[in-house]
Structure 1
């Protein structure tokens, strides 16, 4: 290759939904919960998150360098399981969750909590009878970080969103937020492949926001999309092209179709 020729690399971004949430399977849980708007994962949700992490490691064809996660408990637990699978040293085929992993290499992946990946803060996503009465969603970030595999948290990362969105944000505003945070995080680390652990709406936007005239109709638990964009590696700062959606409808739990099907 001529030295004057621009070398093109690719950045990959995987956007993943959390696993099975407790309140959708145990309706009595909400009655006694201190934070009924912030359910944990079920056991099946933990297993699904771990298995998805293993599938990403085995089939993506590129390493995940950095993980960003919504501060909601179900997302942090999902990220913890997925990261344990991505970083496990002893690749035991019988392992079902992070509890079965005896050793990880924390140098493989760095993890950070990002407010911009949080749930849609409106009654469309969080019922009024379980939402905080004052509209303020409080998270103990150090406590959440302690749930992630030891040594994987990046203490130097500065969040794109310094605080949570205001309660009762609009659906359109939420979708714009998700599209913006995907781009912002990718731009912040253009030479790294990212995994973003978020909510169903965020995964939907990762497809509809980057694939024209498309509507997303279903996002399963732990479903994920895969985005890729070219990066010109010749000069600093690195120049990035547009994202393309590599996920085929239904293949990784995300189902979508052209809006022309609506007519």
Structure 2
């Protein structure tokens, strides 16, 4: 067994892995007319390239990560749900068929992963990320959980999960006082709920940036690519019948991609 490097602790029982990734390519960054014609302009879908990129990232996880995921948590925004659906299909595919560009028609084993929608992973709920003219005028964002879950691969949704955030954060949350602390805390909260499982969190660019800079001290993230991700790892210690966790670290050796920082 590997040593945790902490003298007061016994050797780590095992390591918990948490990957935090951004969604794929969103349509409003490619089609300037989309917003003016959309019924839900605050909730853009992916373009085809975004679906392809998400599926390819899922295949990369499946073929190159030295561990398997147990659970996936996803922001309720459409672009994240579509990204998660592609990644989950790639991770759960019965056979790894490199000829398929997306999850369309891919047979999966739904028992491999459990997926849940988590409000705490949502977009920055402020004009820093969502323009005022795009936000819903009546304050109704229209995120019906049952409808959102129906967008995920059949049989993968865990209906018994108790969400950390029972509803969306309040509109016009302060980025420094609320949003960034939320992103940092939701990673810890979800990891602490499932200390014996490896997690994939599908969120937004700011969420990935916060996950990186929070656990890699002294860094500032200035850009996160579509489907960019950071791999976090922490030691889990067992004493009697309970588990305690060490601190998260960012794995430098291929533990992140698509993140620009200084």
Same fold (TM over 0.5): yes
How far did 1:160 drift?
0.2
The 2-side partners of 1:233 and 1:97 are apart by 40
How far did 1:233 drift?
2.8
1:180 aligns with 2:180: no
Q: What is the aligned counterpart of 2:13 among 8, 18, 26? A: 8
For the structure 1 residues 73 and 192, does the alpha-carbon distance in structure 2 shift closer, same or farther, using more than 3 Å as the test?
A: same
For the structure 1 residues 250 and 236, does the alpha-carbon distance in structure 2 shift closer, same or farther, using more than 3 Å as the test?
A: closer
- 1:228 corresponds to which residue? 233
Query: 1:22-171 residue pairs with structure 2 within 5 A?
Result: 22-101=27-106, 103-171=107-175
Secondary structure of 1:175's aligned partner: helix
| Structure 1 residues 147-196: Cα deviation after superposition (integer angstroms, max 9, x where no partner) | 11111000000000011100000111100000010000000000000000
Q: What is the aligned counterpart of 2:195 among 170, 190, 196? A: 190
The 2-side partners of 1:189 and 1:35 are apart by 34
Unaligned 5+ residue runs, structure 1? 258-263
| Structure 1 residues 75-110: Cα deviation after superposition (integer angstroms, max 9, x where no partner) | 000000000000001211111111141x11111110
Unaligned 5+ residue runs, structure 2? 2-9
- Is residue 110–residue 154 contact of structure 1 (8 Å, CA) maintained in 2? yes
TM-score (norm 2): 0.93
CA RMSD in angstroms comes to 1.6
How far did 1:255 drift?
1.5
Secondary structure of 1:68's aligned partner: strand
Secondary structure of 1:99's aligned partner: coil
Runs of 4+ in structure 1 displaced over 6 angstroms? none
- Is residue 76–residue 147 contact of structure 1 (8 Å, CA) maintained in 2? yes
